[in-house]
Copies of this chain bind each other. A is one copy, B any other.
Amino acid sequence: MTNSPRTITIGLLGCGNVGGALLPLLEQQRASIAARTGIDLQVAKVAVRSLSKSRDVEVPEALLTSDAAAVVGDPGIDLIVELIGGIEPARELILAALRAGKPVVTGNKELLANHGAELYAVAAENEVDLLFEAAVAGGIPIMRPLRESLVGEPITRVLGIVNGTTNFILSRMSDAGASYADALSEAQTLGYAERDPTADVEGFDAGAKAAIIATIAFGASVVAGDVYHEGISKVTSADIAFAARLGYVIKLLGIAELVDDGNADHKAPEVAVRVHPVMVDQNHPLASVRDSFNAVFIEGAAVGDLMLYGRGAGGPPTASAVLGDVIDAASNLTRSTYAAIGDLPRARIQPIDNVRSAFYLSLNVADATGVLAKVADVFGRHGVSIQSMEQEGLGDEARLVFITHEAVESNLQSTLRDLQQLDVVHSVGGMMRVIGS
């Protein structure tokens, strides 16, 4: 801590929801940050798409520019905060900043999930920080714990509720008995869901975040296209009610699993990364993550179970994550140091067919003797072991509800196919992967 704080000048690219929350937060905290860190953070330029557009936050006219590239190239600017989003021009701007030796803070999940490895490598080559806490789970500190606290931890699996929109919708369906359509429309009214909700409800947004989490947790590059995903648009009120009766809550999870660390045969780590609805045991800490909150649950061989919970979106929480990164990068800059991820090997991706999980399966069957034996025989032939079964009469037919032990996805799928061939099986009521407590 020095008596005369060192000034670090910031070029902010993008002044929307997050940028607009960052500016007043920075101003409000500037003196306290200087006192604690010896660094005076000063916003020197704010690049926006349109100079004439009205903004929630007042930006001095002298700071505003529509030329983002000029901000990056300005020798008077030390550090770049990229909050434009999307692939281009964000990628070119970040690369230019890194090559000019300027640390970059970004919240751009789409860019990192598609071009992360390139950016991490260029940052390391140029010995400069590229920090992105805000890209995953908004205000929750997850990237820094993974990159620093847990870099030596043998992490085996990460489960994340990393999309607030879908968690809100599923919470409304569970807690208020709303239908999917009503819950979605409520989310849209409240501004939690876009008019076109595809990116959220079909799991693309969560998939991008899962790719970033897997990359950092396992030290091997995973891209958005590697992530298997199913969304929540087919989850029905009946599924929710059934899950509740069995002691489960339905959540959309991003799941990143280490299949093989590759150390034994000097290969890159093999990982399975997927997003889909999961029946989560109601005693699991993720089950109590409600509304638009996010949480990331980390399983490590030494540390055991960890969960990091908080606001996954919104201007101020995300701006808080950006500010933490800005202070870190500025502090590193004054000490001529940086935290590199560096050159990552490409992860080997386990195909979804080979992934192991427990399953819930509900079948509508003929109410006759010998049905269970026929059904159980199909499970057995495909090596799928049943953990529990419940039978319920429904008048003319009966419903069989199974929870299986861990089974390979393809075996479950072929079990399902063969079950549908049985004349005693009238229809499949539902199928979902399951995570216990």
Contacts and interface: CB of A to CB of B under 8 A. Distances in A.
A200 interface: no
A126 to B, nearest CB: 14
Given A141-B145, A263-B31, A288-B285, A302 B326 contact: no
A140 interface: yes
Interface in A308-328: 308-311, 314, 316-317, 319-321, 323-324, 326-328
A150 B154 contact: no
A144 B148 contact: yes
A192 to B, nearest CB: 15
Contacts of A301: 316
Nearest to A145: B141
A149 interface: yes
Interface stretch (A32-40, A74-82, A376-384, A407-415): A32-40
B304 A307 contact: no
Given A303-B321, A308-B309, 16 more contacts: A29-B152, A32-B219, A141-B306, A148-B148, A148-B324, A151-B324, A151-B327, A152-B323, A152-B324, A152-B326, A288-B288, A303-B311, A303-B320, A305-B310, A306-B308, A336-B337
Contact of A319 (B32, B37, B144, B302): B302
A190 interface: no
Interface string A335-374: 1110110110000000000000000000000000000000
Interface of A: 1, 21, 25-26, 28-29, 31-33, 35-37, 124, 133, 139-141, 144-145, 148-154, 219, 261, 263, 285, 288, 300-311, 314, 316-317, 319-321, 323-324, 326-328, 331-332, 335-337, 339-340, 342-343
Contact of A263 (B32, B149, B304, B343): B32
A219 B392 CA distance: 61
Copies of this subunit? 2
A301 B308 CA distance: 18
> Among A124, A261, A310, A327, which residue has the most Cβ atoms of chain B within 10 A?
A310
Question: Which of A21, A300, A306, A316 has the most chain B CB atoms inside 10 A of its CB?
Answer: A306
Contacts of A148: 144, 148, 324, 327-328
Nearest to A261: B32
Contact of A304 (B37, B261, B316, B336): B316
